[in-house]
């Protein structure tokens, strides 16, 4: 997919379908990283149904754009997007988290559409920098899009990669930082404050924007603007709401990994259908 004029209504519909798929998978196991999958659905819709160049039938196409999911536990959201995009069968979502499934709770390279194995945090941006350098050496015009979390900014390796990306002027590298202010041990700001975040990325030499990560039009506008900046990698900081679209999840105090009672899933689906 790639185009100049995004169909926002279509992208919003795709994002809602991605959220439906997330609930489908999470209900099967009764728990998981539901809030993250719901919160990042708008970005995934904007990327997979507007911006990314890829071929669902030829995942090893050398000229494809690379999407690097650094935060492996967000895989539930990426599985949903890949199913919506026709990369994996929608029916396969029912195997999420099962023994022997290609859809583990933290994604692996053997899953179609995954460029790296996630799990240990703080490694994705470094791999994305390496991919971007490799593409330059191969004289390919493919781009690298990396999704990382605000919690990963507690990792020193992330900032080493940020320095390298700016040093090599990788203007075909895009980093999206999901700022939902939640890590496993509580609110990000309390565990380790990362602000002022936009100023930090700018100081590291990145073209930087901060936007509402749950507004698709803001996301597509930010990517379009970033593409006009040369000789710098691009950081787009996304302020998102975990559990977006399902009120009962949006309002939970702790969202990193949630367990949901069997009786609650029908209510979650109803709230999603009534939202957005």
Q: What integer pLDDT is reported at residue 241 of this predicted model?
A: 96
> What architecture (CATH level 2) is domain 8-274?
3-Layer(aba) Sandwich (3.40)
Q: What integer pLDDT is reported at residue 84 of this predicted model?
A: 98
pLDDT by residue (tens digit) across 222-274?
A: 999 999 999 999 999 999 999 999 999 998 877 788 888 888 999 999 999 99
**pLDDT over 60 (residue 1):** no
Q: What integer pLDDT is reported at residue 3 of this predicted model?
A: 53
Q: What integer pLDDT is reported at residue 32 of this predicted model?
A: 85
Confidence of residue 137 (pLDDT cuts 50, 70, 90): very high
Lowest-confidence region among 32-36, 212-216, 223-227: 32-36
SS (H, E, C) the chain: CCCCCCCHHHHHHHHHHHHHHHHHHHHHHCEECHHHHHHCHHHHHHHHHHHCCCCCCCCCCCCCCEEEECCHHHHHHHHHHHHHCCCCCHHHHHHCCCCCCCCCCCCCCCCCCCCCCCCCCCCHHHHHHHHHHHHHHCCCCCCEEEEEECHHHHCHHHHHHHHHHHHCCCCCEEEEEEECCCECCECHHHHCCCCCHHHHHHHCCCEEEEEECCCHHHHHHHHHHHCCCCCCCEEEEEECCCCCCCHHHHCCCCCCCEECCCCHHHHHHHHHHHCC
Q: What integer pLDDT is reported at residue 276 of this predicted model?
A: 67
**pLDDT over 90 (residue 159):** yes
For residue 8, give the nearest of 175, 240, 221 by alpha carbon. 221
Lowest-confidence region among 42-51, 99-108, 142-151, 191-200: 99-108
Calculate mean pLDDT across residues 98-113.
Answer: 91
C-alpha torsion sign, points 182, 184, 186, 191:
negative
Calculate mean pLDDT across residues 47-68.
Answer: 96
Q: What integer pLDDT is reported at residue 223 of this predicted model?
A: 98
pLDDT by residue (tens digit) across 172-184?
A: 999 999 999 988 8
**pLDDT over 90 (residue 218):** yes
**pLDDT over 80 (residue 133):** yes
Q: What's the pTM value of the predicted model, to 2 decimals?
A: 0.96
Tokens encoding 73: 């536990």
Q: Average pLDDT over the chain, rounded to whole?
A: 94
Lowest-confidence region among 48-52, 55-59, 132-136, 209-213: 55-59
Q: What integer pLDDT is reported at residue 2 of this predicted model?
A: 56
% pLDDT > 90, the chain: 84
d(CA 133, CA 139): 10
pLDDT by residue (tens digit) across 192-208?
A: 999 999 999 999 999 99
Calculate mean pLDDT across residues 97-119.
Answer: 90
Lowest-confidence region among 6-15, 25-34, 140-149, 151-160: 25-34
pLDDT by residue (tens digit) across 62-88?
A: 999 999 999 999 999 999 999 999 999
d(CA 129, CA 118): 16
């Amino acid at each position: 997919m790639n185009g100049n004029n995004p169909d926002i209504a279509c992208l919003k519909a795709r994002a809602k379908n991605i959220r439906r798929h997330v609930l489908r998978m999470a209900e099967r196991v009764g728990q998981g990283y539901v809030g993250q999958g719901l919160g990042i659905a708008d970005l995934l819709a904007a990327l997979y149904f507007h911006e990314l160049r890829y071929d669902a039938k030829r995942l090893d196409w050398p000229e494809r754009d690379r999407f690097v999911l650094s935060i492996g536990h967000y895989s539930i959201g990426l599985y949903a997007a890949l199913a919506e995009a026709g990369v994996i069968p929608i029916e396969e979502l029912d195997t999420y988290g099962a023994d022997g499934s290609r859809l583990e709770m933290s994604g692996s390279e053997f899953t179609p559409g995954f460029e790296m194995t996630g799990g240990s945090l703080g490694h994705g941006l470094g791999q994305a920098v390496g991919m971007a350098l490799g593409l330059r050496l191969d004289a390919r015009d493919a781009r690298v899009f990396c999704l990382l979390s605000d919690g990963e900014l507690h990792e020193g390796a992330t900032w080493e990669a940020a320095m390298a990306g700016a040093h090599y002027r990788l203007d075909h590298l895009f980093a999206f930082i999901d700022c939902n202010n939640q890590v496993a041990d509580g609110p990000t700001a309390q565990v380790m404050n990362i602000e002022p975040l936009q100023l930090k990325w700018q100081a590291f030499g990145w073209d930087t924007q901060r936007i509402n990560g749950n507004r698709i039009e803001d996301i597509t506008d930010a990517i379009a603007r970033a593409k006009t900046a040369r000789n710098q990698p691009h950081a787009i900081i996304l302020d998102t709401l975990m559990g977006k679209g399902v009120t009962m999840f949006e309002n939970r105090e702790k969202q990193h990994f949630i367990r949901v009672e069997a009786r609650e899933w029908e209510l979650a689906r109803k709230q999603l259908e009534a939202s957005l």
